[in-house]
Chain A
């Protein structure tokens, strides 16, 4: 069996989901697709069930925040892996921060459960259809999503760690 190239992978996905793909690129030799958020579950399920690609391992789901991209502020990134073909694929879906909803991938991958909870915990992405969407790492009482850019990493209002207390 020959190796599957990135170009072949892109062609095969385009045949099925040409209308859902917004951007396709190969940063650092890894095919990266920006797709229509509403189609994410269809694409993941098709990749999982396709008889040639066999993308059956979900490496990671994570989020990122781009405050300057109006109406595309939040990004959910999916990494899938075909162990049989030694092939990886990165899928990005951009959603607006005012309505941060995307369908949950838990119907395709059970392992998506905790990854989506983590993404919700840090970025506030609502995964519709998730069986148990609540915070996983931070304290339950936390009332914001700490990795969004509007929250500084350090508390700017604090005075007890000013330089002059440390002779600086």
Chain B
């Protein structure tokens, strides 16, 4: 039966009659990468582009991310789309802290990445001043194709992340550089 539905490829492994052996972290990476639950933290125009990304034309659900999580507890990916004022910084950090590990952060748009055109007293000059960021999507605002590209790069990170990464001293050092733990 012919179909154009693409199914995720199984990781490389050893196969026999009724059994299949592969690496645990590859299997977990496969499952995680294709079921990322995003938490949209949308504050301005990039949020509108993100809505277009979720809509039927671009349809982020194709990448296993149709389930928006509006509770940080059940979210895997924090998507920050829009200008973050300095007063919003502690709120953003609180949301990040409420997410359970493993967690990833996608910074969408010039404002979230670097403050954008708002080089001024009230705007945070990039969210990486308060939380660690995994992938940056530039643009003012970025098109939905760019946001999808950023999410696919996140998928790549998720798929290939070693299981011990979140326990490593480098990761602890990264978090403590942001004053977390």
Chain A interface (Cβ < 8 Å from any Cβ of B): 137-139, 142, 146, 151, 153-155, 158, 160-161
Given A137-B87, A138-B121, A154-B120, 13 other A-B contacts at CB below 8 A? A137-B122, A138-B86, A138-B122, A139-B87, A142-B121, A146-B121, A151-B121, A153-B119, A153-B121, A154-B119, A158-B119, A160-B114, A161-B114
Report the nearest B residue to A147, measured CB to CB: B121
A63 to chain B, nearest CB (A): 16
In which size bucket is the chain B interface?
under 10
B13 to chain A, nearest CB (A): 46
Report the nearest B residue to A140, measured CB to CB: B87
- Which residues of B have CB within 8 Å of A138? 86-87, 121-122
Report the nearest B residue to A144, measured CB to CB: B121
A112 to chain B, nearest CB (A): 23
- Which residues of A have CB within 8 Å of B114? 160-161
Report the nearest B residue to A151, measured CB to CB: B121
A154–B87 CA distance with the chains assembled, in angstroms: 18
Q: How many A-B residue pairs have CB under 8 A?
A: 22
- Which residues of A have CB within 8 Å of B120? 153-154
- Which residues of B have CB within 8 Å of A151? 121
- Which residues of A have CB within 8 Å of B87? 137-139
A137–B121 CA distance with the chains assembled, in angstroms: 12
A161–B117 CA distance with the chains assembled, in angstroms: 10
Q: Interface code B69-94, partner A: CB below 8 Å = 1, 0 otherwise?
A: 00000000000000000110000000
- Which residues of A have CB within 8 Å of B121? 138, 142, 146, 151, 153
A165 to chain B, nearest CB (A): 10
Report the nearest A residue to B120, measured CB to CB: A153
A-B contacts, 22 of them at CB < 8 A, read: A137-B87, A137-B122, A138-B86, A138-B87, A138-B121, A138-B122, A139-B86, A139-B87, A142-B121, A146-B121, A146-B122, A151-B121, A153-B119, A153-B120, A153-B121, A154-B119, A154-B120, A155-B119, A158-B119, A160-B114, A161-B114, A161-B119
A155–B121 CA distance with the chains assembled, in angstroms: 8
A161–B125 CA distance with the chains assembled, in angstroms: 11
Q: Interface code B32-63, partner A: CB below 8 Å = 1, 0 otherwise?
A: 00000000000000000000000000000000
Interface residues of B in 87-123 (CB under 8 A from A): 87, 114, 119-122
A154–B115 CA distance with the chains assembled, in angstroms: 12
- Which residues of B have CB within 8 Å of A158? 119
B155 to chain A, nearest CB (A): 29
B150 to chain A, nearest CB (A): 21
- Which residues of B have CB within 8 Å of A137? 87, 122
- Which residues of B have CB within 8 Å of A161? 114, 119
